[in-house]
Copies of this chain bind each other. A is one copy, B any other.
Amino acid sequence: MTAPPHEARPPRAGRALPDTQQGMRRRNLARVMHAVSAEGSLSRAAVASRIGLTRAAVSTLVDELIRWGLLEELGPERPGRVGRPGSALAVSGRGPAGIGAEIGVDHLAVCAVDLRGEVRARAVRHGANRGRAPQVVIEELTALVSRVVAEAESAELWPAGLAVAVPGLVARDARTVVRAPNLDWHDTDLGSLLPGGWPLAVDNEANFGALAELWLGAGTPPDFLHVSAEIGIGAAVVVDGRLLRGTRGFAGELGHVPVRPDGPACACGGRGCLEQYAGEEAVLRAAGLEPREDLVDLLAERAEAGDERVRAALRDAGTALGIALTGAVNLLDPETVVLGGALAGLSPWLLPALEAELTGRTAGAACPVAVSGLGPQGPLLGAAHSVVRAVLDDPAVVAERS
């Protein structure tokens, strides 16, 4: 577990606030929100000492945040120490909520998360989406969103934004799906298909999964490499608490890192890419299984049961992952590598070979490998929380929106 930060500092948001007196005030509002959010309940004086402002300044900031409905006063604290007890502040359970959505290969999911970080509404629809037209899928997703939003509104929440996790490459405009091979989508502008009216952010599921790990994972450091696999293999690079997106938004394509330069040809144009060894198709073939919806469970079950062919397939996938990760670790020097998504569930059979490669190839300076506790829930939670974080990072936006 990482030591509690001496100061609850909001990670520098995507779009920095202007460097003016008003921008300073907005950043201080954010610092108050983050401090209270991190501790759950805090007095004004405690916030002041934590973020380095005076009690008087914090008082005016808190007044404003209460007026906007982002904080609420819980009443006097239980007096344990000497002196007048403070009045406990907490992040409001009403007000803005983050709507997260996930487009999986064989399911759709939507949830609403309040400012406290609690999931307040959910909706899921199972069924394969592969090859279906984006319009149809988005229509169904929109219906789920409507249901979740209605449920949230009945709990006095209002949607502050919609974030959609997609199994594919997303352009930096956070609207266009450039390529989602497992859905057969290409250059699809989700911005025009999804309901307008709220801020919208579309991103790779690996990215949202990594953010969930950063924000919700136990002891996840601000510098790590998050690897996830559904059908393709994606990774997300988090540096200093921020996602590394790349010029075109395509960073993290671990699946196409060359593992054996003379290996089998890949659809990407290369040879011997990681996906040729650790991708779903490759593992299925090596395990001698047919494609199914609940593939991960099946693989885990067979491996558990002692199916030697399945175990060998997973072992080989782990080896390939280890080779690719050796390159990534040498290049990025992350604090840890986190296995998420489907890899989390299969980690008992992947990890030994993976770690053998990784530590064997990096003598001494090995990078620890951890398994995500969020597993397949990561992307959806990360999406919803990304909206919540946007509000915490700049609480003043809600004032403009009323």
Contact = CB atoms under 8 A, between A and B. Distances in A.
Interface of A: 19-21, 24, 27-28, 221, 223, 235, 237, 239, 244-261, 268-271, 323-324, 326-328, 330-335, 360-365
A254 B330 contact: yes
Contact of A248 (B244, B247, B333): B333
A271 B335 CA distance: 23
A251 B363 contact: no
A361 B254 contact: no
Contacts of A324: 327
Contacts of A271: 361
Contacts of A330: 253-257
B362 A250 contact: no
Contacts of A360: 269-270
Contacts of A250: 333, 365
Nearest to A16: B12
A225 to B, nearest CB: 9
A258 to B, nearest CB: 5
Contacts of A323: 258, 261
Contacts of A249: 333
**Can you list the 9 inter-chain pairs with the closest CB atoms, starting with the nearest?**
A246-B333, A269-B363, A270-B361, A257-B327, A253-B330, A251-B333, A247-B335, A250-B333, A256-B330
A256 B367 CA distance: 14
Nearest to A19: B27
A248 B334 CA distance: 8
A331 B253 CA distance: 5
A351 B24 CA distance: 49
A210 B313 CA distance: 41
A71 to B, nearest CB: 20
